[in-house]
Amino acid sequence: MNAAIIGVTGYSGTVLYQLLSQHPAVENIHLYGHQDTAAPRFLNDEIEAFCDRRIMIEPYDVRKIMAENDVVFFATPAGVTAKLAQPYLDADFPVIDLSGDMRLKDPKEYAKWYHKDPAPADQLAKAQYGLAEFNTVHAGYVANPGCYATATLLGLAPLIKKHLIDPDSIIVDAKSGLSGAGKKLTTSSHFAWINENSQPYKVNQHQHIPEILQQLQQWDASVKALQFTTTLIPVTRGIMASIYAKPLPGVDEEKLTAAFEECYGKRRFVRLVKNGWPSIKEVSHSNFCDLGWALDPNSHTILVVSVIDNLMKGAAGQAVQNLNHMFELDETLGLPMIPSWP
């Protein structure tokens, strides 16, 4: 198949290009910018690591893109695909969108959390949320989940779907490496600031909060809210979500373990850590999500720890997993099955 990437120069787009370049079912990768007036550029001029890849990044042309490709990936900033999605939705053309523009079904919620103009409600209704372990999409427009949302939802799914916890008790302490903030330089991304440092950010304001809540409510409508805090830590890539909740009466360690095993026993990219606890290093450069859990009998609190590589399972890796589902391929194709270690 031929695949198009729109927005290859960001971190997620770069990792996506790496994965598709090694995907056995992808014959050609065509690169495009997201502006039709932009001058042609070349990949090796934009990304120094690809100095041997003299591949043109062409101006945006929706007709040309759909004519030359079998699937389109958007790895663009928020606010871009909301303006570009309509022709693909009208044609039912295969799209996997790594931006957040099509994840939320309520345009008002998008405007509130992203502070940008939303796509129309009828477009949002057609997009399908592609949490790959639970929502297999075979055609149309896939809204690829956010990184924090992926880690949090995979950690909470057994607890929510099996109704094991008080739905009003969910607290998530999520930590992310610096690549999650993207390539744009900010004060908090300077080495002198983040090295040997840690800082909460977007407290009660992170755009993945409504995305998480939207999916949780599809699993259990009684979930009304969650406390969700994000913290920047001095690593390049990776997310660790520490999830706390109060168990319902009668829930013990045995029932917890049974719920995780039933939910993920046959999942290729979710690994259950039963001895010890997951760490970011152990999923680095892979599409795995590692999960560990425990019930503290003293505080009567469940802890679930979920770790992912934010650029892989949290972005490009899950996008390729969704590609494999869409074209009915083995879901592991093009994805490394061994993490980078050490």
- Cα 99 to Cα 74: distance, rounded to the nearest angstrom: 7
| Strand arrangement, sheet containing 227-232 | 199-201, 227-232, 171-176, 239-245, 301-308, 289-296, 270-272
Contacts (Cβ under 8 Å, ≥6 apart) of 184: none
Token couple for 283: 């999923």
Peptide bond preceding 107 in cis form (omega within 30 of 0): no
Residue/partner pairs of 78-82 with CB below 8 Å, 24 or more apart: 78/114, 78/116, 78/207, 79/114, 79/116, 79/117, 80/7, 80/34, 81/119, 82/110, 82/116, 82/117, 82/118, 82/119
Give Cα 103 to chain centroid, integer Å: 11
* Annotated active-site residue in 51, 147, 263, 289: 147
Active-site residue flag, 147 = yes
Catalytic residue positions, numbered: 147
